Amino acid sequence: MQGAGLKASVDAFQRSLIVDCLERHQGRWAEVARDLAVDRANLNRLAKRLGIR
Tens-place pLDDT, residues 2-47: 677 999 999 999 999 999 999 999 999 999 999 999 999 999 999 9
The pLDDT value recorded for residue 39 is 98
The predicted pLDDT at position 1 comes to: 58
| Cα(18)–Cα(34) distance, integer angstroms | 12
Q: Nearest-CA neighbor of 14 among 2, 28, 25, 38?
A: 38
d(CA 19, CA 43): 12
Distance between CA 1 and CA 40 in Å, rounded?
28
pTM to 2 decimals? 0.88
* CA angle (40, 46, 51) in 5-degree steps: 125
Question: Could you tell me how far CA 45 lies from the centroid of its own chain?
Answer: 10
- In the prediction, which pLDDT does 4 show? 77
Structure confidence at residue 2 (pLDDT): 67
